[in-house]
Structure 1
Amino acid sequence: MSEFENAKRPHLLIVSNDVVNTKMAGPGMRYLELARVLSDELDVTLAIPSETTLEVPNIKLVRYWDDRPKSLQVLVESCDIVLVSGYMVEKFPFLHQTKKRIVVDLYDPFILENLHYHLNKPIAAQESLNNRAVDITNTLARLGDFFICGSDRQRDFWIGVLASNGRINPRNFTKDTSLRSLIDVVGIGFLNREPRPNPTLRGIHPGFPEDARIVLWGGGIWDWLDPLTLVKAWTQVIAKNPQARLVFLGTRHPNPQVPPHKMAEKVQTLAAEIGEKDRTIFFYEWIPYEQREALLCEADIGVTLHPPHIETRYSIRTRVLDYLWARLPVLVSEGDVTSEWVKEYGVGKAVPPLDVEAVAQAIAQILERPKSSWGSAFDPLRESLSWSQVVEPLRRYCLQAEYAPDRQIRKLVTPSVVKRGKLGRVIEIWRTEGSRELLQRIGQKFRQGLARP
């Protein structure tokens, strides 16, 4: 029985590693919406790494500082459950020793993102950064009582990581043979309301005529995405649809600590080379979170394209969920989970990666239909992906908030360094299987050593 069953409300601390303010990228949006939905049944504190002007009912927004660990530690000590992700465990080592229940958010497969992010660095630097990311991922895998990820495809990937770190074990399996009580899917959801139109471009901005057909790249221009194919196809698009306008959001991340991505510069250069920058192609740094829905309502197509690579297979593009929520027809490259949704539900077009002709044809085909004719196709997705549905596994865990069955024994044997050492393995065998089994294994290893040439 959980100690919270007789308590009024468990206290959840969500630690955001990204800006939560009027301008936000995907991680900040995710944590804000998780906090909003869970605050119906939990006391929720959202810890954020920078100042904010937001005021959110029923949620405490509290600033922490990377260089002042105590600023976060006092928040952790006052909660029952803490949700962490990514590099938090490196920045704040006290998390390794906390006795609080720990939820680890694996929504962002940063070990795969980093392969692209650091691609232009010397190979030695790439290897060093990759080793660091792998070490941190392994630490997260050993630390959590409960893990959440973005999709069932991601879950398969992360189960492999958990298995390699000893978390797929008899204790956890005996509790739940499906392992859903150890790792479950909590992706991105839709707001439980309709988007609110508020025209800001068509017939208002001098570059957008009254009959403009707006193609929206509704998020960051990251190095692992492919806006270049879209711009290469653009001359074909405007040859058939002269009133078409292409809008890029996100030339610069709202978090000032995130350096500019080279792709943002490349795509602006290409748009200028074809003579369409600030004519039919427009770039914006970022827009406030609450205003993004106005553009979603005003646009005719939402686009996200990517080259074929491993990060794509396991990612979920937050912007595509925005498009689906706003009933905005989607143009997406094949290869990720959202492209399968687009094909299955008929809410847009999925095209082969890097195919300029296919992109131009898909845009023309989508623009042939009135936007309103797509509306009902979105309904099944909107029902299954509402935030109240998406958050259910996390809500259920927080209301019980138990340690993982192997958590106590792990706290005894997990070394303070990230990598498990031989001594840690020896202690683990001794504690879990006894001295006789330990001696037998030592003897076996010794005999194997003698037998080697």
Structure 2
Amino acid sequence: MRQSWRVERGSSLPDVTVVVVNYRGADDTTTCLRALFGELDYPADKLQVVVVDNASGDGGAARVRAAAPAAEVVEAPANLGFAGGCNLGVEHARGSVVAFLNNDARPHRAWLREAVRVLRAEPAVGAVASKVLDWEGRDVDFVDGGLTWFGMGYKRHAGEPDDGTHDTPRDVLFGTGSALVVRTSVFRELGGFDERFFMFYEDVDLGWRMNLRGWRVRYEPKSLTFHRHHASMSRIDSSRELYLLERNALAALYKNFSDETLAKALPAALALVVRRATARGELDATQLEITRRPADPEDDRAPVPVPRQALAGFLAIDQFVELLPSLAESRKAEQAARRLTDADLLPLMRKAMEPAYPLPRYLAAHDVLVEVFGLEEVFGRPRRVLVITGDALSDRMAGPAIRAWNMADVLAGEHEVRLVTTNARCDPPEAPFPVARAVRHELVEHAEWADVVVLQGHVLENLGFLKEPGSTKIVVCDVYDPMHLELLEQGKDTTDEQRELDLVGVTRVIDNQMRRGDFFLCASERQRHFWLGHLTAIGRLTPSLYDNDPTTRSLLAEVPFGLSGKPPQRTGPGLRASLDLADSDKVVLWAGGVYSWFDPLTLVTAVDRLRARRADVRLVFLGMKHPNPEVPDMDIGVRTRALAARLELTGSHVFFNETWVPYQDRQNWLLDADAGVTTHFEHVETTFAFRTRVLDYLWAGLPIVTTDGDSFADLVRREGLGVVVRSEDPDALADALERVLYDEAFAAACTERIAVVRERFTWDNVLAPLVEFCRNPRPAADRLPGASPMVRNRPLGKLDKVQRDVQLVREYLTAGGPREVARRASGRVLKKLRRG
């Protein structure tokens, strides 16, 4: 029943303003309006059509009013161009969505509805770029946009037959102004189209700026229009178009490239304009060489003819210089507001190094400029990803460091990656990416270098500039370790006052991450529920995010701990040789550290009871001393040793490896074991924990014995990977150990099922959400400037109110039956009486 309520009704659609600019094209404009009012599948009461007449001077405004009385005609005081005309139209817009449509275009009936659907479904999309075909619907006008390093935007695949290969939605750098649908709040936040462009590239510039600020531009092929290309320019010499294209490309480039990119691109782009002009006009570029002067001085002073096609380039540079003072102010604003780097947008540029003009002299100059200015390095630069951990990076690593290491390793296949630790210990094994230790000021330098920062634990507190409201860096928070829950157990040996202070401090650290992150990683479905509650409590779960993604996985993704895709291979002695155990001994391995939230005491007791009937049982603790020197020894380790000694198990049935097996050697110990075990108490930390070293049991194919209560217990039970027992039950635990160690058929069946399950946990597989995010990193939708819900701008009508009341009655019936309906209805009557 509830799902049926979600069917889209007219009342749920936002108000839309369609802006059409007319300049001496009243016949085309009336054809366009006829389609808007007569064929468009969008509620008429939600559609405002504004026609801006750009001082046509031919009576066109009156003709449009007569032909389309429902349109609001605004007469501009002068010809403001396409950019200025559109901006004037938006000044009169009442819709929370504004759509731009060329007057020589006609929309498909689903044009607007499909574009609005995308805006409603994807809160980070600031604009929808419509698919545009020629008037007959045969050839492509716009399906994708490209941008060259010298600032020229172009329509990819224009003129090609529409053969169905462009019917997949995708993110683009810009859409064509001939059919573009934008969130009104975003358009206004960006200041609209740049009116200095007059026409051409104002749509490229708008999309470029939108993307730099973190908003996506989404190409939607179901939002379809048909266009008579350049109908308004057919009576104007093409040199004027070339002039605007050259000038506006330089202006867009100057405003939007970063300082680093601009320093190389602008000089080369200016030189290329000149070469494009001389090649286009077929000018002899050597005609003024001193060695070529004619004998007669009068002939030397004769005018040199310059074709208009060439003159356009020279005049474009001249007028670009005239615009520089105002462009410089715009550049300051755009650079201050940007959220993404040039590298982030390189995929959207498509083929940034494409020369664009097939003229031999021009192509030769293009290649020279690219090489001399090192433009391949700039526009071929990979994305920079910084992974930061607070854990020790060495040949002996704990869970957080192992996780950070593998994140860096997987991401390095596509990006330029650095792995940095704030820990004093940093003597890592050889890596295919740079690894470094950084103190606070060095950490800031690393973060400034990066396009994307992936961090764990307390790291954000060392990067205060990332927490500032204006921070534009893309931040991924790995919250797979609920530190505050862990601290409740870890701090039991301290005073109540200290525990309280520590908990407040850690909770504040987590709050800061929750408020700042653009993307979050957790380790299990249970953790997703936990962190979702946190995000909801601080206001990060917005209606627009929920409408787009009811699972919230676009903000909070499940990334379990992983394991190597390569099966373990023996490289040296394992636990049997190191501890002098016989090949016939039955060994159960505890593969991680011994911490306060674990229950090794029940395990030791269980081994004591099992040895009475199985004398060859052996329990091995892989490492008692944490590899991170900042992690103190915990009382549980002392108590475990004491219990094993009191029961006379130490050195005979229970063995403690006092150091820590190097990460690269752990497979040798795993391969010597017959089963893996993990036991813990029943408390909140267990509920949301992810026992990272348990994955090593899957990697080595070891049947698992685990206490109930955590996500791994659910996995073991569901997939039949071993035995799950109640907490603090030594007899049940002893029976479980006996089964996995001595029931060969049962153990073999567990191992067979583990071989299937472990493929799901390889690092390449589990890190897929992070890999996908880093391919197209974006700020979280609620952190974008100009974010605003799409709302109605008029009171509810009678039909809207009826539909609302019907839905409320359904909800009340579901909640409490007819009595609840009667109670609610009487309450509404009383409210009206009080108001009266």
TM-score bucket of the superposed structures, by smaller chain: 0.7 to 0.9
Provide the rounded CA distance (Å) in 1 between the counterparts of 2:599 and 2:497: 26
Query: Which residue among 40, 63, 74 is the counterpart of 2:413?
Result: 40
Contact map agreement 2:479 2:520 (CA 8 A) in 1: yes
> Do the aligned partners of residues 175 and 101 (structure 1) sit closer, same or farther apart at CA in structure 2, a change above 3 Å counting?
farther
Deviation at 1:4, TM superposition (A): 4.5
Matched residue SS, 1:240: coil
Matched residue SS, 1:204: helix
Deviation at 1:246, TM superposition (A): 1.1
Deviation at 1:86, TM superposition (A): 2.0
Residues 1:364 and 2:738 aligned together? yes
Deviation at 1:205, TM superposition (A): 4.5
Matches for 1:14-413 after TM superposition, within 5 Å:
14-48=387-421, 49=423, 50-57=425-432, 59-65=433-439, 69-97=440-468, 98-197=471-570, 200-201=573-574, 204-205=577-578, 207-284=580-657, 285-370=659-744, 372-408=748-784
> Do the aligned partners of residues 212 and 174 (structure 1) sit closer, same or farther apart at CA in structure 2, a change above 3 Å counting?
same
> Do the aligned partners of residues 321 and 82 (structure 1) sit closer, same or farther apart at CA in structure 2, a change above 3 Å counting?
same
Q: What residue ranges of structure 2 are gaps of 5+ in the alignment?
A: 1-215, 217-343, 350-378, 789-836
> Do the aligned partners of residues 204 and 383 (structure 1) sit closer, same or farther apart at CA in structure 2, a change above 3 Å counting?
closer
Matched residue SS, 2:588: strand
Q: Which amino acid aligns with 1:15?
A: I
> Do the aligned partners of residues 202 and 129 (structure 1) sit closer, same or farther apart at CA in structure 2, a change above 3 Å counting?
closer
Provide the rounded CA distance (Å) in 1 between the counterparts of 2:595 and 2:712: 18
Provide the rounded CA distance (Å) in 2 between the counterparts of 1:186 and 1:93: 26
Kindly provide the CA deviation profile for residues 259-283 of structure 1, in whole angstroms up to 9, marking residues without a partner as x.
Answer: 1111111101111111111222111
Contact map agreement 1:13 1:81 (CA 8 A) in 2: yes
Kindly provide the CA deviation profile for residues 39-86 of structure 1, in whole angstroms up to 9, marking residues without a partner as x.
Answer: 1112211012332141112x1112112xxx111011000110001122
Q: Which amino acid aligns with 1:87?
A: H
Contact map agreement 2:590 2:620 (CA 8 A) in 1: yes
Provide the rounded CA distance (Å) in 2 between the counterparts of 1:131 and 1:203: 45
Kindly provide the CA deviation profile for residues 88-109 of structure 1, in whole angstroms up to 9, marking residues without a partner as x.
Answer: 2223323313421000111000
Q: Which amino acid aligns with 2:509?
A: I
Matched residue SS, 1:318: coil
Partner of residue 811, structure 2: none
Deviating more after overlay: 46-55 vs 391-400: 46-55
Contact map agreement 1:201 1:208 (CA 8 A) in 2: no
Q: Which amino acid aligns with 1:187?
A: P
Matched residue SS, 2:488: helix
Matched residue SS, 2:417: strand
> Do the aligned partners of residues 56 and 367 (structure 1) sit closer, same or farther apart at CA in structure 2, a change above 3 Å counting?
same
Deviating more after overlay: 186-195 vs 371-380: 371-380
Q: Which amino acid aligns with 1:19?
A: A
Provide the rounded CA distance (Å) in 1 between the counterparts of 2:751 and 2:446: 44
Q: What residue ranges of structure 1 are gaps of 5+ in the alignment?
A: 413-427, 429-453
Provide the rounded CA distance (Å) in 2 between the counterparts of 1:112 and 1:224: 10
Matched residue SS, 2:394: coil
Deviation at 1:124, TM superposition (A): 2.0
Contact map agreement 2:393 2:428 (CA 8 A) in 1: no
Deviation at 1:174, TM superposition (A): 4.9
Deviating more after overlay: 380-389 vs 339-348: 380-389
Deviation at 1:16, TM superposition (A): 1.0
Question: So what's the TM-score if we normalise by structure 2?
Answer: 0.47
Provide the rounded CA distance (Å) in 1 between the counterparts of 2:447 and 2:740: 49
Matched residue SS, 2:581: coil
Q: Which amino acid aligns with 2:447?
A: V
Q: Which amino acid aligns with 1:348?
A: G
| RMSD (Å) for aligned C-alpha atoms | 2.1
Matches for 1:4-23 after TM superposition, within 5 Å:
4-5=346-347, 6=349, 8=380, 9-23=382-396
For these two proteins, the number of residue pairs brought into alignment is 409
Residues 1:3 and 2:345 aligned together? yes
Provide the rounded CA distance (Å) in 1 between the counterparts of 2:626 and 2:691: 15
Provide the rounded CA distance (Å) in 1 between the counterparts of 2:642 and 2:453: 44
Kindly provide the CA deviation profile for residues 317-360 of structure 1, in whole angstroms up to 9, marking residues without a partner as x.
Answer: 01111101111111100011101111111111110000000111
Q: Which amino acid aligns with 2:489?
A: H
Provide the rounded CA distance (Å) in 2 between the counterparts of 1:207 and 1:85: 39
Provide the rounded CA distance (Å) in 2 between the counterparts of 1:86 and 1:169: 25
Contact map agreement 2:574 2:671 (CA 8 A) in 1: no
Identity %: 33
Deviation at 1:122, TM superposition (A): 2.2
Contact map agreement 1:190 1:385 (CA 8 A) in 2: yes
Deviation at 1:23, TM superposition (A): 0.2
Matched residue SS, 1:350: strand
Matched residue SS, 1:71: helix
Partner of residue 445, structure 1: none
Contact map agreement 1:202 1:210 (CA 8 A) in 2: no
Provide the rounded CA distance (Å) in 1 between the counterparts of 2:668 and 2:430: 21
Kindly provide the CA deviation profile for residues 142-191 of structure 1, in whole angstroms up to 9, marking residues without a partner as x.
Answer: 00001110011101110110111111113533553432111111111221
Provide the rounded CA distance (Å) in 1 between the counterparts of 2:548 and 2:632: 44
Deviating more after overlay: 74-83 vs 39-48: 39-48
Q: Which amino acid aligns with 2:417?
A: V
Deviation at 1:34, TM superposition (A): 1.4
Deviation at 1:204, TM superposition (A): 3.2
Contact map agreement 1:145 1:404 (CA 8 A) in 2: yes
Provide the rounded CA distance (Å) in 1 between the counterparts of 2:549 and 2:665: 43
Specify the structure having the higher radius of gyration (Cα). Answer: 2
Provide the rounded CA distance (Å) in 1 between the counterparts of 2:756 and 2:346: 35
Provide the rounded CA distance (Å) in 2 between the counterparts of 1:91 and 1:304: 34
Partner of residue 419, structure 1: none
Matched residue SS, 2:781: coil
Provide the rounded CA distance (Å) in 2 between the counterparts of 1:277 and 1:342: 29
Provide the rounded CA distance (Å) in 2 between the counterparts of 1:368 and 1:167: 51
Kindly provide the CA deviation profile for residues 273-331 of structure 1, in whole angstroms up to 9, marking residues without a partner as x.
Answer: 11111222111121100111111111011111001000111111011111011111111
Provide the rounded CA distance (Å) in 1 between the counterparts of 2:570 and 2:612: 29
Q: Which amino acid aligns with 1:275?
A: E
Provide the rounded CA distance (Å) in 1 between the counterparts of 2:394 and 2:678: 24
Matched residue SS, 2:686: helix
Deviation at 1:409, TM superposition (A): 5.0
